[in-house]
Chains A and B, each alone.
Chain A
Amino acid sequence: AQTVTQSQPEMSVQEAETVTLSCTYDTSESDYYLFWYKQPPSRQMILVIRQEAYKQQNATENRFSVNFQKAAKSFSLKISDSQLGDAAMYFCAYRRGLLYGGATNKLIFGTGTLLAVQP
């Protein structure tokens, strides 16, 4: 079975600084996707960034980027120029690809990292 581990329950960063959130996963599958979701106090689940396992290039979305190390099964999120609005719970999630058949709408989540941004 696939598992996702986020070993940092809480992190803190100063406004305008850079912070990296860690995520590791365990799988024997070769076709999968990885996601980072943000959950602010409003409770909404907001997609931040996604990475396809077959793509070696790290995904980037504005101030958010990932460091995808497939062999190490590591998928960290880097937030540059942190803003007060980045304060939230961040979840790493795994989703299997189509290669193995069956339903692919099942997300496996880590336990989350609560990010505080200090002004």
Chain B
Amino acid sequence: NAGVTQTPKFQVLKTGQSMTLQCAQDMNHEYMSWYRQDPGMGLRLIHYSVGAGITDQGEVPNGYNVSRSTTEDFPLRLLSAAPSQTSVYFCASSTGQGAGQPQHFGDGTRLSIL
């Protein structure tokens, strides 16, 4: 079972560059989310989606864009990378059938902005 797949696992960017973090899930989950993890701050929600074509902002959306053209994919775009976006990024998915269903996480992408 592939589950939630994130690519790349590591990336170094220069300030001002743009890039897309990829996230794909093969469980036919309606819900997908992006979190960032910073030391001492836990995980914070960036953007989320409840289905194809539907996205919304989370707690820390500035500097990031998302789209959800298919159920399987939920890419996260950094438009103009800044050092403050250095972090570990996690994609997660879950079924929409009940809030108690656990979220499945990808293995994360470690992103460094120089």
| Contact (Cβ within 8 A) B100 A52 | yes
Interface size on B, residues (CB 8 A): 27
| Contact (Cβ within 8 A) B99 A33 | yes
A108 proximity list for chain B (CB < 8 A): 45
Residue from B33, B96, B100 within 8 A of A33 (CB atoms) = B100
B32 proximity list for chain A (CB < 8 A): 105
Residue from A97, A111, A112 within 8 A of B99 (CB atoms) = A97
B43 proximity list for chain A (CB < 8 A): 45, 91, 107, 109
| Contact (Cβ within 8 A) A50 B99 | no
CB-CB contacts below 8 Å: B70-114 with A: 88, 90, 92, 94, 96, 98-100, 102-103, 105, 107-108
Query: Nearest CB to that of A9 among chain B residues?
Result: B40
Query: Nearest CB to that of A47 among chain B residues?
Result: B102
Separation of A9 and B39 alpha carbons in the complex (Å) = 11
A44 proximity list for chain B (CB < 8 A): 105, 107-108
The 8 tightest CB contacts between A and B, nearest first, are: A105-B31, A45-B105, A104-B99, A109-B42, A109-B43, A47-B102, A111-B42, A97-B99
A-B contact pairs, 30 of them (CB 8 A): A4-B42, A9-B40, A31-B99, A32-B99, A35-B102, A43-B88, A43-B107, A44-B105, A44-B108, A45-B43, A45-B92, A47-B102, A91-B42, A95-B99, A95-B100, A96-B99, A103-B31, A104-B96, A105-B50, A105-B92, A105-B96, A105-B99, A105-B103, A106-B33, A106-B45, A107-B92, A109-B42, A109-B43, A111-B40, A111-B42
